[in-house]
Amino acid sequence: MQLARVTAAEDVQPLPAEPSRVELLRLSSIVKRFPGVQALSDVDFDLQSGEVHVLFGENGAGKSTLINIIAGTFTPDDGTMMLRGQPIRLHSPHHARQLGINAVFQEFSLVPTLSVQDNLYLGREPKHAGILDKAAIARGTKETLDLLGFHLDPKAQVGSLSRAEQQMVEIAKAIQGEPSILILDEPTASLTENEADRLFALIERLKGQGLGIIYITHRIQEIRRVADRVTVLRDGHAVATVAAGDVSEFRLVELMTGRTIDALYPTINQQPGPVMLQAVALTLVNGRVRDVSIDVRAGEVVGLAGLVGSGKSEIGRAVFGLEPIASGSIVIEGDVVRHPSPRGMLDRGVIYIPPDRREEGLVAMRPVRENMSLAALSLPMFSRLGILRRRLEGRTVRVIAQRLNLRPLNVERQVAYFSGGNQQKVVLGRGLARNVKVFIFDEPTTGVDVGAKVEIYGFMKDLCERGAAVLLISSDLPELLHLSNRSYVMHRGEVRAEFIGTALTEEAVLANFFDRDSDAA
Amino acid sequence: MTTAPMEREATGANRLSDLARSIFSTVGILPILLAIVVFYFASQESRFYGTANLTNVLRQSTYLIIVTLGQALVLISGGFDLSVGAVIAVTSVVSARYMSNHYAANPDSELSSVLVGVGIGLLVGTVFGLVNGIGVARFKVSPFIMTLGMASVGTGFALYYTGGSPVSGMPPLFTREIGTGRWFEIPVPVYAAIVAMILVLFLVGSTSWGRYLYAIGGNTKAAYLSGIPVGVYTASVYVMCSLLAAVAGLLLTARTSSGEPNLGGQYPLESITAAVIGGISLRGGEGRIIGAVLGALFITILTNGMNLIRMESYFQTMAIGVILILAVIFDQLRDRWRV
């Protein structure tokens, strides 16, 4: 393989000179329509060899449509595509792969019951007269894995691997095709810090070999880490293409959302009162949180920042009784809670809003009314001796829906038919159906459009100013920085730092996301 | 990240098929099937729509309706109950034995014998339901395995308890009034079915118990996060189902005027078929009780019609099997057509 020449340490071949930048891909005036939606309007995009070009934008901005066009899954309705200066029309993903364009999507194309090496060679198994050449498969797999620095057992069953390891297999599969263009779609979505670090190091190496990499993300902090250039998509338009170093985080958010920072994030008048929630020396059985102590006061928004795997989500879950606690305690309004459980916590006025509303938040085929009242059904307002008070329930829920500006304002409609932003409002509305004093938000604005985000931030402002204690667990750094009064930064299960007020800046927080020293593997 | 929807032009033909799809996904194929079946049998055999036959069908349907009510509840909560047939058999033999023994010992107090029998029968149902419920909720055994296992336990027990032969000697009060009796021209079991239906409709529509079942079946994690004690409610629905099956078992015992160890064999399959045809999803969290009742009615009408046109009974069993498969296929399609 041509890559082997360059990176294997034992190999004698000399390193070639730094590859001069070549234009690999140029898309001009790309248009793509689907029934009822204009996915892409007049989009220009180009990719140079040896660069990482980030596609940045909200969910629904058109990023996946664009990369699907580049990868050959869709054909554009209008516009042109040039590969190395030659105009092309891609017929299929297979065609794209043959031309050297490979993509690693969020949904992997792996067969869980087959081994790593079988997956790597799926569809292109080397054979001798019809019989599988297992030796060649094993050899080729080892070569690729070593090349990429992935420590995986080639015979391991893919289904038994962690998501990060499966992603490595998917990347190895993409690399095996010797692509010149590699597309990575939100690759760090579920990686831990270590794994993300390794991925970034790999991307550096691939860059050095002249690959052009298209990297999709909606997380600001990754741009700092990895990008050479950034193209911001908004509502199907490419609003800007800039060098990563030339643009500030504020500007990126403004470009992405189309709103000025002031219009996006409200100013919350925070007046911290008595301590409502405390975690004292909390350690979880699964070790993801170790000796963590945090507190949240009434009338303030406290942020928990950190990468996936840093333990920030697990703290919120542990408070609510969803993760077994090994040692330490949870204290609500001064009372130590021995065995936290969702029921017990709700009765104490604490609510946890989960990050994945489809998975853990909503009963999709039931109406808004039933979903919103779900956590409060046992209260006298909603039922008497087990018998539901339907009319009162309807009225109460309608009032909540109005306050949250649910669109369309129909509480009898099944939640599945609402947009992501409105579905999130239904989940949040649960916290208004009962007397809640402590709100734990875990990634409250994932998959939520800008309009709904602004409304949700307004809702949080309202809650906070009325005296609720709010714990905001979020990977959206700008969101965290602008809404919280005080933030803890988590790293590998421990609290690395706490920042208050003006000390709470992006640099300060980011500096604590990653390891300062290189660590032993 | 989601993949974009398939491209479809908004032609006239597509609009019509979209309309058809949305109708089917809310209401199910039941109305169509019912119409087909009724018209077919009415055309083949004039006795089909005679009063005698219709009253017969009504009475016959009550047993399946009662069992299907219970099955529907379990399905909505996300499980299923394959042991309903065994519950009927065990209820039948145990209550019959106690009743006939008590009656033999006290020939003058028929009523108390009947009450003892009924009480024992309901107890059997409760115990069965508790075992199923604890197995599924506490020990996390899959409902399929748990109820299948209990079905085997029950059937075996019924045969063992009676040595394979029916238990006779029921108090006439029981067999006469409940088995073949009528109040105001309507067979007594029909009243039982109506009461059961009203009770279940009430539970499902107006109580938090019913609401929680839909939540647990629709998204168990969300239910747990909302503070619902999932285990308790899951177990309770199996108790409810077995109790209803026990009621059906008692009614059937009165009808056959003996405790039969082989009673109820077809009910697991038929009750699930009835519920699914009626719009209850096998995935849980969806479906309306009234649909399940109509489904049970449909199966009974179908069976009755097949008997009237003198279809071979083994062939009838095949027909029911085919209907079940079609109903499940349709259930899957409905899920896809919905979005």
DSSP structure string for A129-156: TTEE-HHHHHHHHHHHHHHHT----TTS
Determine the 3-state secondary structure of A388 from DSSP.
strand
B44: contact with A, CB 8 A cutoff:
no
In chain B, the residue whose alpha carbon lies closest to the alpha carbon of A353 is: B225
Judge whether A416 and A365 are in contact, CB under 8 Å: yes
Please say whether the beta carbons of A363 and A374 come within 8 A: yes
Q: For A317-354, what is each residue's pLDDT tens digit?
A: 999 999 999 999 999 999 999 999 999 999 999 999 99
**Per-residue model confidence as pLDDT tens digits over B103-117:** 888 888 888 888 889
Q: DSSP code of A367?
A: B
pLDDT at A20: 64
Share of residues in chain B with pLDDT > 90 (%): 54
In terms of Cβ atoms closer than 10 Å to its own Cβ (0-12, 13-18, 19+), residue A410 is middle
Answer yes or no: is B5 within a domain: no
Closest CA to B89 of B162, B148, B181: B162
Starting at the earlier edge strand, list the strands of the sheet with A86-87: A37-48, A23-34, A78-83, A86-87
- Euclidean distance between CA atoms A167 and A262, whole angstroms: 38
For the whole model, what pTM was predicted?
0.79
Q: Give whole-number Cα distances, A325 to A286, A288, A317, B170, in Å.
A: 8, 11, 10, 59
Higher model confidence: residue A304 or residue A128?
A304
C-alpha A238/C-alpha A508 separation (Å) is 31
Number of structural domains chain B divides into: 1
Contact between A153 and A14 (Cβ < 8 Å): no
The pLDDT of residue A515 is 63
Nearest CA in chain A to B229: A343
Size of interface A-B (CB pairs under 8 A): 97
Higher-pLDDT residue of A5 and B193 is B193
| pLDDT tens string A212-229 | 999 998 777 788 889 999
Chain B partners of A354 at a C-beta cutoff of 8 Å?
225
Q: Give the mean pLDDT of A461-482.
A: 92
Amino acid at B69: L
Chain B residues close to A416, C-beta within 8 Å: 339
- DSSP-assigned letters across all residues of B289-314: HHHHHHHHHHHHHHHHHHHHTT--HH
The domain that holds B165 is classified in CATH as: 1.10.3470
Q: 10 Å Cβ neighbour count for A477?
A: 21
Is residue B21 one of the residues assigned to a domain? no
The amino acid present at A251, given as its one-letter code, is: R
How much is the average pLDDT of A34-44? Answer: 85
Strand partners, A27: A45, A81
Residue A311: left (phi > 0), alpha (psi -120 to 50), or beta? left
- The answer, for B75 touching chain A at a CB cutoff of 8 Å, is no
Shortest distance between the Cα of A211 and any Cα of chain B, in A, equals 24
Q: What is the ipTM of this complex?
A: 0.84
Position A429 pLDDT exceeds 60: yes
Two structure tokens written together for A71: 């990868």
Rounded CA gap, B92 and B174, in Å?
13
Is residue B11 a part of any domain in this protein? no
Residue B96 burial class via C-beta count within 10 angstroms: exposed 0-12, middle 13-18, buried 19 and up = buried
- Determine the pLDDT at residue A514: 67
Residue B7 lies in a domain: no
The mean pLDDT value of chain B amounts to 88
With contact defined as beta carbons under 8 Å apart, do B41 and B305 qualify? yes
pLDDT bracket for residue B30 (50, 70, 90): confident
B228 in contact with chain A, both atoms CB, cutoff 8 A: yes
pLDDT bucket at A456, cuts 50 / 70 / 90: very high
Q: What is the pLDDT of residues B278-304, one digit of tens each?
A: 889 998 999 999 999 999 999 999 888
How many other β-carbons are positioned within 10 Å of the β-carbon of residue B129?
28
* B10 within domain boundaries: no
Assess if residue B8 is contained within a domain: no
Distance between CA atoms of B302 and B38, rounded to whole angstroms?
Answer: 8
* Residues in chain B closer than 8 A to A320 (CB atoms): 225
Token pair for residue B338?
């919905």
Residue B20 covered by a domain: no
Residue contact B208–A390, C-beta within 8 A: no
A102 against B47, higher pLDDT: A102
Residues A167-177 pLDDT 10s: 888 888 888 87
Residue A106 DSSP one-character state? S
Please give the residue range of the domain that contains residue B91: 29-337
Phi, psi of B235 (to 5 degrees): -60, -40
In a domain, B9, yes or no: no
Query: Each residue of B71-124: pLDDT tens digit?
Result: 999 999 999 999 999 999 999 999 999 988 888 888 888 888 888 899 999 999
- In B, minimum Cα distance to A447 occurs at B1
Using the predicted structure, report yes or no on whether residue A54 has a pLDDT greater than 80. yes
Q: Which of A34, A20, A187, A166 is nearest to A103 (CA)?
A: A187
The interface residues of chain B toward chain A in range 178-217, judged by CB-CB distance below 8 A, are: 206-209, 211-212, 214-215
Q: Which two tokens stand for residue A504?
A: 């709470």
Q: Do B215 and A64 touch (CB under 8 A)?
A: no
And the tokens for A179? 């692509």
Q: Which two three-digit tokens encode residue A62?
A: 């058109």
